[in-house]
Amino acid sequence: MYEWTTDLAVDDLLIDKEHQHLFELLERYYLGLKGQKAPMDLLLLVKGLIDYAQTHFSHEEALMLKSGYPDIERHKQLHRTFMLKVNDFYTKLSDGKLVLTLEVTNYIKNWLVAHIKSEDVKIGAFLKRN
């Protein structure tokens, strides 16, 4: 259900590999939710996904900086906005103010797909030209 597909490739080996891993983590969370894992186990999966997303964004931003990507600041802001939202999910989940549902996975999946297809592909195209 939450699988990386080749139409999400940006043609950068590191970025594509990290995107694939993000989808693997998302799939683990979905399967845990579907299999009714304990809330603490699901919370750990969400935290792992958030931590890995932050690592990935750091790598992507370093690549943009190194290559002179012209739209880096706007792209970084998109990352910050996403991180604020998912950290808010995590806080609400850990405080018991949000029930573990598909809302979290669907938000993350939809954001990732839209972000990759509309933003990250621009990085790949820029890297090819330069």
The sign of the dihedral angle between the CA atoms of 29, 42, 16, 74 is positive
Question: 1.10.3720.10, 1.20.120.50, 1.10.10.10, 3.40.640.10: which CATH number matches 9-129?
Answer: 1.20.120.50
- 């979290």: which residue's tokens? 104
Question: Do 89 and 53 contact (CB within 8 A), yes or no?
Answer: no
Question: Do 46 and 104 contact (CB within 8 A), yes or no?
Answer: yes
120 Cβ contact partners less than 8 Å away, ≥ 6 residues apart: 10, 15, 19, 60
Rounded to two decimals, what is the model's pTM?
A: 0.90
Question: Do 26 and 49 contact (CB within 8 A), yes or no?
Answer: yes
Taking only the tens of pLDDT, the chain with its 130 residues reads 678 899 999 999 999 999 999 999 888 888 887 776 767 777 888 899 899 999 999 999 999 999 999 999 999 999 999 999 999 988 988 888 866 667 777 888 899 999 999 999 999 999 999 8
